[in-house]
């Protein structure tokens, strides 16, 4: 099986995996980074969202070969005192919590691109993350709060 060198959360990992294996399987099964969740498997729910070069991607759709040489970041690489995580705690956003790692990764990517998003921009960027508990209102509030608190 081919070997891949991946830069995840500023650590270099070498993994042996089929080149078509989606990165989510590599993260969860090979590297035991189980923060990113498996939801639908077809890129429709957003639970597996990670960053590749700062862009939010759905881990279940992207084969490991396509991510060689990119800077990957998973929820494990986001420090606990990150403004988005702080406001997530403040608004007590998570209910069952399964989708939340994906929500947070999408939110961070949005704030990196647009530090002061409008409501419309938040809705557009978070559309790919589905929450079965319906925490959307709190997610939006938390993003608005985080956009005020982030260090620029």
Partner 1 sequence: MRYILILITLLAFGCKKNYQLTEAYDRGKEVYITNCISCHGSDGSGNLLYPAINSRVANAMTLERAVWVITQGSQNMPSVDLTDQEITDVLNYIQNSWGLETEVISIDSIISLKSTTKNAAIYP
- Minimal distance, residue 8 CB to partner 1, in Å: 17
Question: CA-to-CA distance for 147 and 152, rounded, in angstroms?
Answer: 10
Instruction: Give the nearer residue to partner 1 in terms of CB position, either 50 or 94.
Output: 50
- Minimal distance, residue 124 CB to partner 1, in Å: 5
Task: Label the pairing between strands 55-58 and 11-16.
Answer: unpaired
Collapse the DSSP code of 51 into the 3-class scheme (helix H, G, I; strand E, B; otherwise coil) and give the result.
strand
Q: In terms of Cα–Cα distance, which of 98, 108, 93 is closest to 130?
A: 98
Instruction: Give the nearer residue to partner 1 in terms of CB position, either 38 or 90.
Output: 38
Instruction: Give the nearer residue to partner 1 in terms of CB position, either 93 or 109.
Output: 109
Contacts of 90 (CB under 8 A, 6+ apart): 142, 145
The contact set with partner 1 (CB under 8 A) reads 19-20, 22, 42-44, 53, 55-58, 61-63, 65-66, 106, 109, 113, 121, 124-128
- Minimal distance, residue 110 CB to partner 1, in Å: 9
């Amino acid at each position: 099986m081919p070997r891949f060198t991946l830069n995840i959360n500023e650590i270099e990992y070498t993994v042996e995996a089929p080149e078509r294996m989606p990165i989510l399987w590599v993260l969860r099964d090979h590297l035991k980074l189980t923060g990113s969740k498996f939801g639908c498997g077809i890129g429709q729910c957003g639970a597996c969202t990670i960053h590749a070069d700062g862009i939010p991607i759905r881990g279940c759709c992207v084969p490991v070969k396509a991510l060689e040489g990119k800077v990957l970041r998973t929820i494990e690489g986001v420090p606990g005192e990150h403004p988005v995580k702080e406001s997530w705690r403040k608004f007590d956003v998570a209910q069952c919590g399964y989708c939340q790692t994906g929500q947070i990764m999408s939110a961070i990517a949005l704030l990196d691109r647009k530090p002061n998003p409008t409501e419309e921009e938040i809705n557009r960027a978070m559309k790919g993350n589905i929450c079965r508990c319906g925490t959307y209102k709190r997610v939006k509030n938390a993003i608005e709060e985080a956009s005020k608190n982030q260090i620029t």
